[in-house]
Amino acid sequence: MRTVTGTGVTPLSGLGRVVWYTDELELGDPPEGIDPNLERERFEDARETAEADLESERERARERVGKEEAEVFGAHIQFLNDPQFAEGVENAISEGLPAEHAVREGFSSPIAQFEGMEGRMAERADDLRDVRDRLLRLLTGATGTELADLPEGTILLAERLTPSDTAKLDPDRVAGFATVLGGRTSHAAIFARSLGLPAVVGVGEVLHDISDGTELAVDGEAGEVIADPDEEIRKRAAATRDVEIRAEPVTTADGRGVEVAANLGTLGELAGARERGADGIGLFRTEFLFLDREAPPDEAEQYETYREALSAFPDGQVVVRTLDIGGDKPIPYLSLPESENPFLGERGIRRSLGDDSELFETQLRALLCAAADEGTLSVMFPLVSTVEELEAALEVVEEVASDLEAEGLSYELPELGVMIETPGAVFMATELASRVDFLSIGTNDLAQYVMAAARDDERVSGLHDPLHPPVLRAISRTVAAAHANDAWVGMCGEMAGDPDLTELLVGLGLDELSMSAVTIPEVKGRIVDIETSEAERTASQALDAATKDDINEIIDQ
């Protein structure tokens, strides 16, 4: 049994046989004496065909992984038609290269430039490779591996997977995948979560030591790839594919209700959340409405989006987070300032009350109008650190409501809440909770800010853990402040979706847990077996612990 590690991107495990995927095209040396005009015609024909294919793939992806995720193919169309790329290819043709070699040459420099950047911009290199390889296949007539028809029980291994590759994978055939390269925010990772595929990315060159046909377990939660797994691991990996779905809300063994909701970014994820037994939506990330497009969505489009989310859970609650951009979520058509540390700069409510105030008001208009329809809508503000920020946001809500009333439009004031993501919000939780209906703890950012450890810096990844005592105590303090002010408190960070921590979170007093839909069945299964008094004892012991290791030992016991 051999184990290699990378970045887990889905809290699922899969078991199967390895199929290595390589789709690199060897062009060989370019011929001499080409006709430049003919090669330009070949390039233009390939570009037109590629655009039509991308439009078709975008439509298919909308059905399979969601509207917003599918817009990556819209970005590919923009790359395809970017005059800068076309000029680079045509210049290479003028210098004597045939169309396919010119495409490779024309895309090489932009790909290298993106690879030299950081964060999500670096992952744009994969988008360019996807566009380049699509053109090369059309120009050479080469056919790649048919990913849609892989043998059942395949664990796919690859150097990297492009968005086009990942969108073709069939969850009924593919038990999981692992890649040498890639990060948690890559399109391959996002698609894997939407499709419910166990996946580990960024394993490194050691992945090449695993050969075709090897029995392999992929643990997308622990970030482990295990070759020739023993019987215990095989059973555990197989068991995650067969979890009981509880469609109704659940209670602990002694009758305490805990809502289990889904974190969503697109309408395409609604069906999956309902199928996995979500009681509602605990975090609807509206920034995905604003990404991969040339202009922001108008009020009507947003209204229809929120209405559709509400109609999917008519008996549940839908919690919508207002626009949270900046940090790791830039939007090209907005003037986001350059910052050495964007996570500590303008993002979340800071922009909504500043440069993006018009977008904020438009979004609130759509939300208040949607709240008048079926379902229960709640709205929360991201990255609030001060009472002044919250009071300013509440004033905007009142102004928007007044405008809607003056216009004779139907609206309703939803429940209002605050995201608890900063130490400042934790220290002011009592004052914040006294002004709103609920608090929602975003443990990903909270751990980042409490521990001064960037989420995307692998060198400090050990510090980015919500089980460090100061983070756990911040959570406890927030829960106490909420309940003391008759506000409910939820959690929408990744911590909420870890079944091993469910008893701890119940013991800390969380009223709602919101997570990736794939983990909902297991978390619900854990809740029904919990005795609240025992969970509270576990939480009390964990809060008294001095180290993360001590807390882990308490949880293991």
Amino acid identity of residue 275, one-letter, is E
Please report, as a single letter, which amino acid is at residue 484: A
Terminal Cα distance for the chain, rounded: 27
CA dist., res. 513 & res. 495, Å (int): 9
Q: Which of 76, 101, 464, 492 is catalytic?
A: 492
Are the C-beta atoms of 374 and 310 separated by less than 8 Å? yes
Q: 286, 322 in Cβ contact below 8 A?
A: yes
Q: Choose the catalytic residue: 187, 369, 464, 468.
A: 187
Nearest CA to 10 among 141, 253, 196? 196
49 contacts 152 by C-beta, under 8 angstroms? no
CA 507/CA 528 separation, integer angstroms: 14
- For the chain, what is the total number of helices (H) and then of strands (E)? 22, 17
Residues 202 and 183 sit within 8 Å (Cβ to Cβ): yes
Q: How far apart are CA 375 and CA 370, in angstroms?
A: 9
Which DSSP string corresponds to 166-234?
HHT--TTTEEEEEESS--TTSHHHHHHHHHT--EEE---GGGGGSPTT-EEEEETTTTEEEES--HHHH
Q: How many CA atoms lie within 13 A of 369 on its CB side?
A: 23
Rounded Cα–Cα distance for residues 89 and 42 (Å): 12
The β-bridge relationship of strands 199-201 and 281-285 is: unpaired
84: CB partners within 8 A, 6+ apart: 110
| 41 contacts: CB under 8 Å, gap ≥ 6 | none
Q: Which residues of 1-38 are buried (b: 16+ CB within 10 A; e: fewer)?
A: eeebbbbbbbbbbbbbebbbbebeeeeeeeeeebebee
Are β-strands 376-381 and 488-491 bridged in parallel, bridged antiparallel, or unpaired?
A: unpaired
Backbone dihedral angles phi then psi of residue 194, each to the nearest 5 degrees: -65, -35
**492 belongs to the catalytic site:** yes
CA separation for the pair 176, 198 (Å, rounded): 5
CA distance 70 to 63: 9
Do residues 54 and 84 make contact, with C-beta atoms less than 8 angstroms apart? no
Closest to 232 (Cα-Cα) out of 212, 217, 213? 217
Could you give the CA distance from residue 172 to residue 195 in angstroms, rounded to a whole number?
10
CB 287 within 8 A of CB 329: yes
The three-class DSSP label of residue 535 is helix
- In total, the chain counts a number of residues equal to 557
Three-class HEC string of 438-481: EEEECHHHHHHHHHCCCCCCHHHHHHCCCCCHHHHHHHHHHHHH
Which residues have a catalytic role annotated? 187, 492
